[in-house]
Chains A and B, each alone.
Chain A
């Protein structure tokens, strides 16, 4: 069977690996805030960093391969009813990879501005880039998932969605309130933010809250599409794809909630933080692996001679 690949798949993989090298180098050469914080020796710090960066590379590669496999699949659908929807979802998945890179790289670069006039700018970029990237990613996933209702009719809004909205509204209000009440934190000379909380509420927190909700709606839409769409074999192939996209959305939301909360108002000890990061990263990577598998299964139908 022919194997069609998105023309930017290879360059995307190269960029992700380059991003990982830059990220690891920035961290290895950075002032050792981690060792100071947890009183680790240089060797212990190096081992700790290697134990984090190696799985991170695997996750990032799985992520970009999953996203590009989906994008490649969506290109096979040209002219089809679901083509535009799948293309938007594919682009959304690519943006979730951009989120992974932007959140890591902007965080890694901040220590280099310590003691300079650019520190506040670097902190502001670190706080905003991931929030807006997440909004673009989940916004595209939502738009794509919504369009799938043109292929297999389903309703996004029903009693269950309203209950979810109410629950999410309470969570969002509580999260925003805790954020506003949190005090100023400066760790090893790096402030957690450089703008007033009232400004960050609109420029950073609101994009996150909107992104997470759109991500959840996208997950709901995909589940309903998978339940409604015709085709025994199509649904079998779609199963892994839906499972993968759901995992990516849900674990991306959890990672973002935890990383935001830990930066602003939660204190984790090292063991708990590492365990949480490993588990979430593994599940996140597993989600992209499922996306890859599902996209390849669906591409087999489209490529069948």
Chain B
């Protein structure tokens, strides 16, 4: 289930980060949660959303894209 969640996050991220998505999400999880990406749980999603928002702010100034991306990711916490 947790590995499936990780893949769902990567699939959303691919819409915005293309081939860099997998590396981006893996880095976020290992760096901020100190655990393998496959062990991502629904409880981690809100914190992951916050970190992603901060990190994307360093990459783009397009707030709309950042909001859209993180809103989709946040929805995974309810699944």
Contact = CB atoms under 8 A, between A and B. Distances in A.
B34 interface: no
A235 to B, nearest CB: 7
A181 interface: no
B58 A304 contact: yes
Given A230-B19, A305-B31, A305-B55, 7 more contacts: A231-B21, A232-B15, A233-B59, A233-B65, A234-B16, A235-B18, A304-B27
Contacts of B55: 304-305
Consensus secondary structure, chain A interface:
loop
A151 B59 contact: no
Nearest to B11: A230
B50 to A, nearest CB: 13
25 contacts: A1-B58, A80-B19, A81-B19, A152-B18, A229-B18, A229-B19, A231-B14, A231-B15, A231-B16, A231-B17, A231-B20, A232-B16, A233-B18, A233-B56, A233-B65, A234-B20, A236-B60, A238-B18, A300-B59, A301-B20, A301-B24, A302-B20, A304-B24, A304-B27, A304-B56
A120 interface: no
Contacts of A152: 18-19
Interface string A66-106: 00000000000101111000000000000000000000000
Nearest to B32: A305
B79 interface: no
Contacts of A232: 15-16, 65
Contacts of A300: 58-59
Interface of B: 14-24, 27, 31, 55-56, 58-60, 62, 65
Interface of A: 1, 77, 79-82, 151-152, 229-238, 298, 300-302, 304-305
A82 B19 contact: yes
A185 to B, nearest CB: 51
B60 A230 contact: no
Contacts of B20: 80, 231, 234, 298, 301-302
